[in-house]
Amino acid sequence: MASHDAAIDRYIACWNEVDPVRRRALIAETFTEAARYVDPMLEGEGHAGIDALIAAAQAHFPGARFRRRGHADAHHDRLRFAWELGPEGAAAVAGGTDLAVVAADGRLASVTGFLDFAPQG
């Protein structure tokens, strides 16, 4: 369980890193080269695609931070975990549940995001 939580913490760190150089290094550590991310609003493939969608989310929610909610649930090569997004120390403005496939090297091969709540419009 702890290793799964560590993987999710790295994933969350990618979303929170605003320095592009450090973010790309975290993405390379967290995702396989051919990883794919998809949710109702964004999708990206490979390190460059994932970096671009994270930058877009940061631009859309300036100053907001992602936080993990609880522990990851895991079996075989699958993870399920919940997250929320909001200003530091304030209530979340969005939240969701993500499903991930873990590659043999421990990095994420794919992530499918579902929004539990989000701002309208």
Hey, where are the domains in the chain? 2-117
Q: Which CATH class is domain 2-117?
A: alpha beta
What residues are paired with 67 via a beta bridge?
Answer: 84
Q: Torsion-angle region of residue 89: left (phi > 0), alpha (psi -120 to 50) or beta?
A: left
pLDDT tens, the chain, 121 aa long: 457 888 999 999 999 999 999 999 999 999 999 999 999 989 999 999 999 999 999 999 999 999 999 999 999 999 999 999 999 989 999 999 999 999 999 999 999 999 999 887 6
Instruction: Supply the pTM of this predicted model.
Output: 0.93
